Amino acid sequence: MTASTSGLFSERVPEQISQRNSKTSELSSVLTVLAVALTFLIWTIWSYWLFQYPMKIGHDDALFFARGIEHFSVVEISPHFPGYPGFIALASVLSIFTTPESAVVLTSLISAVILPWLLALLFMELSGKDYTPVAVLFLISFIILQPLLAGMALSGLTDLTGLAFFIASLIGCYKKRNLLAGLMLGMMLACRPSFFPLAIGLLIALPLITDRQHLLTTYGKGLLGVILVAVPCLLFVLAKDGFAYFEEGLRFTQGHFQIWGNTVSSSLPNWQQWLNTLVTAFSWPFIAVTLLSLTVGLIQCSSRFITLIIVVYLGWILLAQNPDNLRHFAPVLLLWLSVLTFQLQQLIVIFKTILSLVIATVYLSLFTSQISFAVLDAPAQQATDWFKEHSQSPEKDFNRRVLGTNYAVSTLREELPDWQIYDMYYPSSELVLRQQQGYRLSGTKQTDLQLIAEFPGRFTGEKKLYLYQYAKPVSRMTGRSIDTP
Amino acid sequence: MRKIYLIAAMLLSLSLNTQAYTYSAAGKEPLIDGREALIQAANSNDFVAASKAYQKVEEEVLYFKQEYGIDLDTPMRNALKAKDASKVTKVLNKIYVAEINRRLTGAEKNINDYQVAKVLVVKSKLFLDLLTPQMSAEQREQANEGIQGALKAVGNPGVFGVGAAPADPDTMKQSHTKLMQALKIFQ
> What does DSSP assign to residue A283?
-
Taking CA atoms, A219 is separated from A173, A200, A231, A283, A306, in Å, by 10, 12, 18, 40, 17
The answer on pLDDT for B176 being more than 50 is yes
Residue scoring higher pLDDT (A363 or B65): B65
- Residue B111 within any structural domain of the chain: yes
Report the complex ipTM: 0.83
| Confidence at A263, pLDDT banded by 50, 70, 90 | very low
* Chains A & B: contacts with CB separation below 8 Å: 153
Distance between CA atoms of B19 and A457, rounded to whole angstroms? 14
Mean pLDDT for the stretch of residues A257-270:
63
Neighbours of A188 (CB within 10 A): 28
Chain B: give the shortest CA distance to residue A192, in Å. 9
Q: For A260, which of B22, B125, B157 is closest by C-beta distance? A: B22
- Residue B14 within any structural domain of the chain: no
Q: Which residues pair with B135 in a beta bridge?
A: none
Q: For A421, which of B114, B133, B158 is closest by C-beta distance? A: B133
Q: Which residues pair with B162 in a beta bridge?
A: B159
pLDDT tens-place string over residues B23-56? 545 456 788 888 889 999 999 999 999 999 999 9
- Residue B5 within any structural domain of the chain: no
Q: For A428, which of B27, B40, B115 is closest by C-beta distance? A: B40
Distance between CA atoms of A177 and A169, rounded to whole angstroms? 9
Neighbours of A423 (CB within 10 A): 21
Look at residue A460 in the predicted model and tell me its pLDDT. Answer: 79
Q: Which residues pair with A421 in a beta bridge?
A: A403
Number of domains in chain B: 1
Q: Residue B151: what are its φ and ψ, rounded to 5°?
A: -65, -40
Distance between CA atoms of A424 and B84, rounded to whole angstroms? 24
Write the secondary structure of A165-200 as one string of H (helix), E (strand) and C (coil): HHHHHHHHHHCCCHHHHHHHHHHHHHHCHHHHHHHH
AA letter at A122: L
Q: Where are the domains of chain A?
A: 21-260, 379-469
Look at residue B103 in the predicted model and tell me its pLDDT. Answer: 93
B21 CB near a chain A CB, below 8 Å? yes
B161 CB near a chain A CB, below 8 Å? no
User: Whose CA is closest to A193, among A87, A51, A44?
Assistant: A87
Look at residue B120 in the predicted model and tell me its pLDDT. Answer: 92
| Confidence at A32, pLDDT banded by 50, 70, 90 | confident
| Confidence at A4, pLDDT banded by 50, 70, 90 | very low
Look at residue A5 in the predicted model and tell me its pLDDT. Answer: 43
**Cβ contacts of residue B83 below 8 Å, gap of 6+?**
B45, B47
Burial class (CB in 10 A: 0-12, 13-18, 19+), B142: middle
Using left for φ > 0, alpha for ψ between -120 and 50, and beta otherwise, residue A83 falls in left
Look at residue A354 in the predicted model and tell me its pLDDT. Answer: 84
Look at residue A373 in the predicted model and tell me its pLDDT. Answer: 74
Helix (H, G, I), strand (E, B) or coil at A33: helix
Q: What is the mean pLDDT of chain A?
A: 87
- Residue B3 within any structural domain of the chain: no
Contact call for A253 and B9, based on CB within 8 A = yes
The answer on pLDDT for A13 being more than 80 is no
Q: Which of B4, B7, B10, B23 to mutate to test the interface with A (most CBs of A within 10 A)?
A: B23
pLDDT tens-place string over residues A78-98? 999 999 999 999 999 999 999
Mean pLDDT for the stretch of residues A351-371:
80
pLDDT tens-place string over residues A441-452? 999 888 889 999
Angle at A472 between CA A470 and CA A476, to 5 degrees: 125
Look at residue A3 in the predicted model and tell me its pLDDT. Answer: 42
Chain A: give the shortest CA distance to residue B131, in Å. 10
The answer on pLDDT for A480 being more than 70 is no
- Residue B7 within any structural domain of the chain: no
Query: Worst-scoring range by mean pLDDT, A158-167, A188-197, A247-256, B91-100?
Result: A247-256
Helix (H, G, I), strand (E, B) or coil at A404: strand
> Which residues form the domain of B139?
29-186
Contact call for B114 and A244, based on CB within 8 A = yes
B4 CB near a chain A CB, below 8 Å? no
Q: Which of B2, B6, B22, B43 to mutate to test the interface with A (most CBs of A within 10 A)?
A: B22
The answer on pLDDT for A234 being more than 90 is yes
B118 CB near a chain A CB, below 8 Å? yes
AA letter at B125: K
